[in-house]
Amino acid sequence: VYDLGGGTFDVSILDIDDGVIEVLATAGNNRLGGDDFDECIMKWMASEFKRTDGVDLSGDKVAMQRLKEAAEKAKIELSGVTSTNINLPYITADATGPKHLDLTLTRAKFNELTAHLVEATAGPVRQALSDAGLTGNDIHKVLMVGGSSRIPAVQEMVKKLTGKEGFKGINP
């Protein structure tokens, strides 16, 4: 079970035989989750806006909340499309008038921004496999749980580690 939720990451290796479930190993990171992916997008949006419009949004709580909501939406959209538009009208204003944020985030840029997070999930997977005395080839099915398990780069990493496509039949 590969569970990448909003705030935590957990992996469990289970042996299911004749309806009996035995936990062989668990590992994870209680400080890694989908919120971290959102944070990477937020930082990128704020940085791009500062570069193009010369305004630092990091001290504006209302603007940062709007960036957070837009970041999560973009993350979800990029699980199904290769690019998404982030349009936040009236994000702030200066002496020249209102300012609007309008950016395109590609899946490739998202993958670049979050590669360290995807890689951070690999360690606990390897640890759980080691603790269970197994290799990726010994795993029969990988159950993908948690909204961020839908991120294509996450799915690719799971396939690389286990040789299996993650099963996404459960609503995260």
**CB within 8 A of 148, min separation 6: which ones?**
4, 5, 6, 33, 34, 37, 75, 154
pLDDT of 172 above 80: no
pLDDT of 127 above 70: yes
| 24-48 residue pLDDT tens | 999 999 999 999 999 999 999 999 9
**Average pLDDT over every residue of 15-23:** 95
**What is Dmax (Cα atoms) for the chain?**
71
**Average pLDDT over every residue of 136-154:** 96
- The Cα–Cα gap between 5 and 149 comes to 8
What DSSP designation does 61 have? H
pTM of the model: 0.94
Residue 156, pLDDT score:
97
**Average pLDDT over every residue of 100-114:** 98
Residue 169, pLDDT score:
80
**CB within 8 A of 65, min separation 6: which ones?**
none
Which residues sit opposite 94 in a β-bridge?
97
Which domains occur in the chain, in start order? 2-33+111-167 (3.30.420.40), 35-108 (3.90.640.10)
